[in-house]
A and B are shown apart, each in its own frame.
Chain A
Amino acid sequence: MGLKDAACVTGIGETAYVRGSRKSAFELQVEASLKAINDAGIHPSDIDGVIPIGIVSGIAEDFVDNFGIRDLRYSALIPHGGASPVMALQAAATVLATGVCRHVLITFGRNVSAGSNKAGARIHNMPQFHYVTEFEHPLGNSAPAQIYAPMARRHMELYGTTVEHFGAVAVACRAHAALNDNAIMRTPITLEDHRNSRMIADPFRLLDCSLESDGGAAVVVSAADVAADGRHRRVFIAGVAVGHPDSPVSITQRPDMTSLGIAKAAPRAFAMAGVTPADIQVAEIYDCFTYAVIRQLEDLGFCKKGEGGPFVADGRLRLGGALPTNTHGGLLSQAHVWGLNHIVELVRQLRGDGGRAQVAGAELGLVTGYGDLGDGALAIMRRA
């Protein structure tokens, strides 16, 4: 038994994405969850599997309590940061393919507007950052922008990747966010705006960095046969895989610090789906930083290692380009909800509900997750 086409995303839900929400992370998570459950055409108590993303808001038992779930058959926590939502698709597909569950809820909510909850403070409470916290934070290596910057610097030095290449990713995401009523940053930007934005952690400028934002997002994943009765055209998980880099909890000690976990996962997911990168019509690539998009495109096989910079230049990632990417605006310009918004957007595109950002005729797409210090995951989805 394999996972190919065993499960479908049947429901999607998002709150408004904002800064300074007065709602708690759990309130935002519940709001998004109810929207996803309603979108799937089921009742909250029909959920029999729950995968809360991160350990930042509600736990599975909170959903039993609030949704009146009588017989929760599966729950899991997946502690891999922004890779967790796509990793959760793999977990959901596994328990749906094997008949453990019928409807699995993957759900996330966050409120990071409090100063004490900013990234530079937040990650040091996470066990996967324990080496950074003990050995690097006291020297001033404190936040993801700094921790990833040496990876990007090395890529620039080894392969000739440029500021303009980073900028092309930022400009594409912003252009798409401008089409999205639920995006936080909607004013179009140019390569010059990107270059002129203030330096944060060289080589990352402000416009290379994703947003800090509040909101919730959720999806319902259902067994393929159950999904046939749903309200929407079915969107199948055709291939899904996860991978971890060598030295997963220390970039400093990683043999090749430009390597990512997704390099190990991508061949597995493409083989499962029976497609190649050339077949992908729309991509939602985890964009914690512009550089991360360039690097993942290489490891996914869209281009060779070191060629990701030229690959993203000339508008390839923009609507109308050869590989429309982050059609919702991404973490860079829509909102940062650990990439669960990327899954929601891919499903929307494959249903044909992409609105002004719809990729014409999109039938096959890809979504990635990138977590913590380089954990990776991807899912290839196709519409029925």
Chain B
Amino acid sequence: MSERAAKPEVVESALSATYWQGLREGRLLLQACGVCGALRHYPRLLCTACFSDVVTWRAASGRGHIHSWTVAHHAFHVGFRDELPYTLVTVDLEEGPRALGRWQGETPRIGMAVRARFETAPAAVELWFEQDGLAR
């Protein structure tokens, strides 16, 4: 049995380091404009509403609804070959921005209520979602 192939490394930037640190602490952090408060994701330099580069960070609740989804049946990176098939979901967070995450559970439906959880994996802490309202 060969070693499991590594997944892609996360390459953090100065803009995103706080986001990744948040995941390591079990929090889904979104950028909030330090001037007008508008939320944005993924991390970027300027606020689209007021063009300020002053940033604060706000923890999302992790709750939201399925916006769309796909099931991978082909591994485009060797690190995922042993996990096929696997499902990815795009989630409308209740704060507004969207997040993409791995999925655990039955076939998702658009509009399904979900909650986030965090999986510590060798390459990074991974963002996962599961159906909300089910017992853990």
Contact = CB atoms under 8 A, between A and B. Distances in A.
A in complex with B:
yes
Contact of B127 (A120, A139, A143, A250): A139
Contacts of A139: 88, 100-102, 126-127
Interface residues of A, number: 35
A138 B67 contact: no
Contacts of A150: 67-70, 88, 90
B68 to A, nearest CB: 4
B83 interface: yes
- Name the prevailing secondary structure of the A interface residues: helix
B10 interface: yes
Find the residue from B72, B101, B124, B127 having the highest chain A CB count within 10 A: B72
B67 A157 contact: no
A199 B71 CA distance: 9
B77 A120 contact: yes
B97 interface: yes
Contact of A153 (B69, B76, B99, B101): B69
Interface string A146-180: 10011101100100000000000000000000000
A187 B85 CA distance: 29
B90 to A, nearest CB: 5
Contacts of A198: 73-74
Interface in B17-74: 41-42, 67-74
A120 B68 contact: no
A141 B88 CA distance: 8
Given A120-B76, A134-B16, A253-B97, A146 B88 contact: yes
B68 A134 contact: no
Contacts of A55: none
Contacts of A201: 70-74
Contacts of A118: 76
Interface in B90-132: 90, 97-102, 110, 123-124, 126-127
A138 B10 contact: yes
A119 interface: yes
Nearest to A158: B110
Given A138-B8, A138-B123, A139-B126, A252 B73 contact: no
A153 B11 CA distance: 29
Contact of B77 (A140, A145, A253): A140
A22 B99 CA distance: 42
Interface in A59-73: none
Contacts of B67: 150, 154, 257
B126 A138 contact: yes
Nearest to A251: B90
B115 to A, nearest CB: 17
A250 B101 contact: no
B13 interface: yes
A137 B69 contact: no
A133 B86 CA distance: 18
A312 to B, nearest CB: 21
Contacts of B10: 134, 138
Contacts of A133: 8, 11
A139 B74 CA distance: 14
Find the residue from B13, B41, B42, B79 having the highest chain A CB count within 10 A: B42
B71 A202 contact: yes
A136 B76 contact: no
A88 B86 CA distance: 39
A149 B70 contact: yes
Find the residue from B69, B99, B100 having the highest chain A CB count within 10 A: B100
A140 B126 CA distance: 10
A136 B100 contact: yes
Find the residue from B88, B102, B110, B124 having the highest chain A CB count within 10 A: B88
B77 A142 contact: yes
Interface in A106-155: 118-121, 124, 131, 133-143, 145-146, 149-151, 153-154
Nearest to A118: B76
Q: Which 7 residue pairs across A and B have the least CB separation, nearest first?
A: A120-B76, A150-B68, A149-B70, A143-B76, A202-B71, A142-B76, A199-B73
17 contacts: A120-B76, A133-B11, A134-B12, A135-B16, A138-B7, A138-B126, A139-B102, A140-B77, A145-B74, A150-B70, A150-B88, A153-B68, A200-B74, A202-B73, A252-B100, A253-B42, A253-B98
Given A120-B77, A135-B16, A140-B77, 6 more contacts: A139-B100, A140-B83, A157-B68, A201-B70, A202-B73, A253-B97
